[in-house]
A = this chain, B = another copy of it.
Amino acid sequence: MAQQENQLFKKFLDLKNSSGSHSPSVMTLREKMPELDIKVDACFLSNPYATELFLKYLNDDLNSKLSLRDLLEFYPSTNEIISDQLSKAIDVDKRNIFVCNGAIEAIQTVIHNFTKDKIIVNIPTFSSYYEFVKPDIEVVYYRLKKYENFKLNIDEYIKFVKKNKPNTVVLINPNNPDGSYIEFETLDYILNELTDIENIIIDESFIHFAYEDKSLSPVSVTKLLYKYNNLIVIKSMSKDFGIAGIRAGYAIMSESKIKNLLKNGFLWNSNGFSEYFFRLYGNNTFLNDYEIVRKKYIKETSAFFKKLDTINRIKIYPSKANFVLIELINEKSSDNIVSDLLINHGVYVRTCSDKIGLDGNFIRLASRTFDHNEIIYDSLLSIF
C-alpha cells in the first residue's frame, strides 16, 4: 500500500471506530476526508428510485399547494392525528399505531417500556436490538448459522425460546445484515407456538423488498395482530421510501400497549416532513407510482445479486432484502477490502467486522441504481 493510501486507510478506520457499531455517514466522510472521491454509497440501504419519486411529489406540491414555510414553522400534528392519517394507508386501526421518529424510536421505546427480565436476539443482527437493552435485563443470543445461510432454524428456535422463557423475542424480516427471509406462513406458525411470550417483535423495515411469489408483493404480518396480541411490528420508512433524513417510522401493537405509551409521552414526535410523508402515503396516485419503482428496484437488485454471485473468492448469501452479505473467502480482514473499495474505487461498503455472530470476514453491500450497481460490480471484479 502506498504511503498516502495507508494514511487514508488509517484515517478511515479511526472514523469508523469513533462511530461505534455504526458506519460513519457519507456526509461525515465527505466532511472529514475531502480527499476521497466517493462515487457510490453502498452502505446506504435504501431504494434510490423511491427517493426520486418522493422528491418529485414534494417539489410538485411545493410548487403548487404546499408551503415550505408551513412545514418548518408550525407544530406538526400530535401522534394520534398522524396515526389516523397512516391508518388508511396501512389498513390498521389507529388505536394500534404508534407513530415515531424513525423506527429507531420504536425499537428504543418498545425495549425500554415492555422488555422485562430477558430478551432473545438473533445474531447477526441490527445492533440497537441489544445495545438499547437496559443493564438489568439479560440478553440471550440465538445464533443464526452460517452453514444454514443464516436462515432461521424454526423448530430449533422455538425450542430455544421455550427453554429460555424470555419476555421478549426479536425477529427482523428480512434479517439485517444477511437478508434471510422468513415466510408469512412460518411466522404465523412461530407466533402460534409462542403465545406465552409477552412481546414478539417483528421488524419489517426491509419487507417492501421481499416477496413470496411472482407478483412481487410484500407479505406483512401486520394483519396477524388481531390473532396474536403479543405481536409488535416495527417498520422504518427510511429504506423502502428512501427518506432516512425525515425520520419516519411506526410500530403496530396492541391497543393497551399504545395507550400505555401515549398516556404520558410521545405527544409531538413527528416533524413537518414526516407528517407530510404520512399524508402522502395515503395518496393512491403516489402509491401506484411507488409500486412501479419498488418493483423496478427489486428486479434490478435481484439481477445485481445474481451477477455478484459469479465473482470468484467471495460468497454471496441468499437475500430477500435490498442488501447482500458477502463473505470474503481467504481474506485476512474485511477492513482492508472496505478501504480498498473506498479509497481506490470510490465505492463505500459496510465492513461487518463489528457484527457479533459472524465468523469470518464479511461485508454488507446495498443495491443502488442500475448504474451504481455496475460500478460496484466492476470494482469487486477488479479486486477479486
Contact = CB atoms under 8 A, between A and B. Distances in A.
Interface stretch (A224-232, A239-247, A286-294, A346-354): A239-247
A184 to B, nearest CB: 29
A234 to B, nearest CB: 14
A131 B243 contact: no
Contact of A101 (B68, B101, B135, B242): B101
B245 A101 contact: no
Nearest to A130: B264
A268 B247 contact: yes
A264 B104 CA distance: 11
Contacts of A76: 244-245, 247
B243 A102 contact: no
B245 A71 contact: yes
Contacts of A271: 101, 245-247, 271, 273-274
A105 interface: yes
Interface string A67-108: 011111111111001000000000000000000011011001
Interface stretch (A19-27, A306-314, A358-366): A19-27
| Copies per assembly | 2
Contacts of A55: 68-69, 72
Interface residues of A, number: 55
A73 B46 contact: yes
Contacts of A58: 68, 72
Interface in A192-251: 238, 242-247
A103 B108 CA distance: 18
Interface in A305-357: none
Contacts of A278: none
A28 B77 contact: yes
Interface in A258-277: 264-274
A181 interface: no
A27 B77 contact: yes
A267 B269 CA distance: 15
A74 B269 contact: no
A175 to B, nearest CB: 20
A266 B272 CA distance: 20
B74 A44 contact: yes
Contact of A268 (B44, B51, B102): B102
A133 interface: yes
A134 interface: yes
A128 interface: yes
A242 B75 CA distance: 10
A273 B273 CA distance: 9
Contacts of A189: none
B54 A72 contact: yes
Interface of A: 19, 22, 25-28, 44, 46, 48, 51, 54-55, 58, 68-78, 81, 101-102, 104-105, 108, 112, 128, 131-135, 238, 242-247, 264-274
8 tightest Cβ-Cβ pairs between the two chains A and B: A245-B272, A108-B265, A247-B271, A75-B244, A72-B245, A51-B73, A132-B264, A101-B101
25 contacts: A19-B78, A25-B75, A27-B70, A27-B77, A46-B73, A54-B72, A55-B69, A55-B72, A58-B68, A74-B245, A75-B244, A76-B245, A102-B268, A104-B269, A105-B269, A108-B266, A112-B264, A131-B264, A133-B264, A245-B272, A245-B273, A246-B272, A247-B271, A271-B273, A271-B274
